[in-house]
Amino acid sequence: MAINVKVVERPIEETSYVRATLKGMANTLKHLVGGHRVTTQYPEQRESISRRWRGTHRMLTTEDGKAKCVACGLCPTVCPANCIKLVPGEDEQGNRYPLVFDIDEFRCIFCGYCQEVCPEEAIHLGRHYENAEFNREGFIYDLERLMAQTHPVTEMWDPADPKGE
Amino acid sequence: MSMVTNSLLLQAVIDPQGPIAFWPWLAFTGVKLLVFFTIYMLGVAYLTLAERKISAWIQHRHGPNRVGPNGFFQPLADGVKNFLKEETLPPYVNKAMFILAPMMAFIPALTIWCVIPWGASWASPWGRVDMVLADLPIGFLFTIAVASLGVYGIVLAGWASNNKYALLGGLRSSAQMVSYEISMGMALIPVLLFAGNVTLRSIVDQQAQMHLWNVLTLSIAFLVYLISAFAETNRLPFDLPEAESELITGYHTEYSAMKFSLFFIAEYANMATQSAMIATLFFGGWDIPFMTADNTGAVSFPLVLLSMAIMMAKTLFFLFFYIWIRWTLPRFRYDQLMSLGWKVLLPLALAYIVIVATLMLVLDAAGIDRGLVYGLIFLGVNAVLLGLFFVFLDRGKIVSPANAPLHAEELKRLRGITASRARLSALSGD
Ligand code: SF4
Ligand code: SF4
């Protein structure tokens, strides 16, 4: 059985290499002199990021500067990456508070479940993306660091307002 | 004191058009050497910046703009980076050749720069000063010979690296350069016929005398030379020796730091040299257009500077052209490269030699002297030839497409063969 090869008689515009080349050169020249630049000049200019951007965490504080967290243990339980380390403590009045609250930002997948589940609205993800560190240990954020962060926090997706308007 | 008066007296009798004495010649050559090579090396460094900037602009980016105003000192930063980087020497390489190869690629590119005439001769108080480092009597034969040496650097690099990709890159490069060198040399023969001499100076003079650039009188030769020059310098669309996507940059895969940088510089130096060659051979060189004052032997210094500026402008234009083409055309397939070189350019160049030689014989016999009329006749012939070129050759024959065109009869014949085979095998019962 012979293979059926379809022979297409191509028009001259499609077979001429010189014409295609000249056309291409005109095109590149047009872009060259067009002067339109799309690059964001990063440290000086920044792209605006979404209000639902999920970056590194923040622990919100009460007026007297304590962490809002009551060490309920919901966030370490829900965390799919298992990256929250929580050791609960209790003071004389019987208030629970976190003795240790570490988040390994390297293991975190920024799913936002911890923020979603927190009954005290204590732990939040942040709208922030500049996270360079000199070593891996620097990415384990302890309670002090989580409280010291100042960047704006993420807004969670609201089913009543799916487009965030 | 007597020395001074002596030299003053001497000066009075020296003819500015005449040959220059030994000591002033030596001094001037030293100065020229410094000036030309400073310009050359700086030019090559800034060519890398130009390439990055132009490519960026074509792609709607900014290009390097962090070091100095608008990235102006980027080449310096690159240079420092390359000097400070680690020099790797893989254990399995052939050490001597591995170290020799970058130099072998770099030196020929540098050497050709000596023979390119950069301007009209200067009628200095000490005699005639030529604006060329070495006015060799063998002219462009030297440039072809030395340019072809550059391939040894690349082949050696590929071989010495002991790496399959590098070796493939080196082999491709040698095949490519050898095939395109022939077309390149053949494209120069019409130029040689016109000038009657191989020195680059006489080629420039001849174009000035004819009042027409060789690109107009010898257009086909120019086209062939231009394409071959792209192949010779390994630039896109002929950068098969490097071919990042398939050979991980080919012959310089194993190189790092300054050795790698040397290959890079060699490529840009080759580009600069070839641009200057194209400007000299086909675009009138340093000859100032619409002016005859610069063609009267040695001239005054401002005119020399003007002619040098003109030559520089032409060279810069072709450098821009190289970069422009690079960001326009995709890389050729290997078989396309070979068939273009051997099946299109070489026969074209050969046929063109015959046409030019015949026409010259006829015109000389008719007693037309080599002036404007002579050139115009060639211009007319070229227009016809270019027309033929576009009508007959530029029909899918220059670059073979991925689906090679198969004519209807050819297809029928092939189908016939298949059918008769099928019949035969049915008869023999297997
Ligand atoms: S964002 Fe998700 S993965 Fe990260 S700490 Fe919170 S729950 Fe765990
Ligand atoms: S869910 Fe909120 S309150 Fe509970 S442990 Fe986590 S951060 Fe603290």
pLDDT tens per residue, range B273-300:
888 888 888 888 777 776 666 666 667 7
Residue of A nearest to B398 (CA): A17
Q: Does residue B52 sit in helix, strand or coil?
A: helix
Residue with tokens 């000063």: B129
Q: Measured between alpha carbons, how far is B329 from A24 in angstroms, rounded to an integer?
A: 7
Among the listed residues B151, B155, B162, the one whose alpha carbon sits nearest the alpha carbon of residue B89: B162
**Residue A30 in contact with partner chain B when CB distance is under 8 A:** no
**Residue B377 in contact with partner chain A when CB distance is under 8 A:** no
Instruction: Give the tens place of pLDDT for each residue, A124-137.
Output: 998 888 888 898 88
Q: How far is A7 from chain B (nearest CA, A)?
A: 7
| Ligand 1 and A79: CB distance under 6 A | yes
Among B51, B53, B58, B223, most A C-beta atoms within 10 A, so best to mutate, is B58
B93: CB partners within 8 A, 6+ apart: B160, B161, B162, B254
A155: CB partners within 8 A, 6+ apart: A51, A52, A164
Q: Measured between alpha carbons, how far is B172 from B155 in angstroms, rounded to an integer?
A: 9
Q: Measured between alpha carbons, how far is A132 from A138 in angstroms, rounded to an integer?
A: 9
Among the listed residues B22, B208, B229, B226, the one whose alpha carbon sits nearest the alpha carbon of residue B119: B208
Instruction: Give the tens place of pLDDT for each residue, B240-276.
Output: 777 667 777 777 778 887 888 888 888 888 888 888 8
Q: Which two tokens stand for residue B117?
A: 């005439």
Query: Is pLDDT of B22 > 60?
Result: yes
Contact between chains at B61 and A34 (C-beta distance less than 8 A): no
Q: Does residue B236 sit in helix, strand or coil?
A: coil
Residue of B nearest to A30 (CA): B58
Beta bridge partners of B128: B123
Q: Measured between alpha carbons, how far is B45 from B167 in angstroms, rounded to an integer?
A: 28
- CA B5 → CA B127, B139, B288, distances in Å? 18, 40, 38
B182: CB partners within 8 A, 6+ apart: B341, B346
Instruction: Give the tens place of pLDDT for each residue, B134-175.
Output: 777 887 788 888 888 888 888 888 888 888 888 888 888 888
Are the beta carbons of B298 and B17 closer than 8 angstroms?
Answer: yes
Q: Measured between alpha carbons, how far is A60 from A68 in angstroms, rounded to an integer?
A: 6
pLDDT for position B405: 57
Return the DSSP state at B127.
E
Interface subset of B 112-141, CB within 8 angstroms of A: none
pLDDT for position B9: 45
**Residue A18 in contact with partner chain B when CB distance is under 8 A:** yes
Among the listed residues B221, B226, B333, the one whose alpha carbon sits nearest the alpha carbon of residue B274: B226
Q: Which residues line ligand 2 (CB under 6 A)?
A: A 69-75, 86, 117-120, 122-123
Please state, rounded to an integer, the average pLDDT across all residues of chain B.
Answer: 80
Ligand 2 atom at minimum distance from A73 CA: 5
Return the DSSP state at B113.
G
Q: Does residue A100 sit in helix, strand or coil?
A: strand
This prediction has a pTM of: 0.77
Q: How many CB atoms lie within 10 A of CB B377?
A: 16
Q: Measured between alpha carbons, how far is B98 from B90 in angstroms, rounded to an integer?
A: 10
Instruction: Give the tens place of pLDDT for each residue, B201-214.
Output: 888 878 877 777 88
Return the DSSP state at A123.
E
Instruction: Give the tens place of pLDDT for each residue, A89-125.
Output: 888 888 888 999 999 999 999 998 999 999 988 999 9
Residue with tokens 């005119």: B303
Q: Which two tokens stand for residue B54?
A: 């132009």
Where do runs of H (alpha helix) occur along B113-256?
139-160, 164-195, 200-210, 214-217, 219-232, 244-247
Domains of chain A (ranges, CATH numbers): 57-148 (3.30.70.3270)
**Residue A2 in contact with partner chain B when CB distance is under 8 A:** yes
Residue B385 sits at the vertex; the CA angle it makes with B271 and B198, to the nearest 5 degrees, is: 45
Among the listed residues B53, B84, B87, B85, the one whose alpha carbon sits nearest the alpha carbon of residue B67: B53
User: What radius of gyration, in Å, describes the C-alpha atoms of chain A?
Assistant: 28
Interface subset of B 383-402, CB within 8 angstroms of A: 390, 394-396, 398-399, 401
**Average pLDDT estimate for B347-357:** 89
Are the beta carbons of B29 and B130 closer than 8 angstroms?
Answer: no
Ligand 2 atom at minimum distance from A88 CA: 5
Residue of B nearest to A17 (CA): B394
pLDDT for position A165: 64
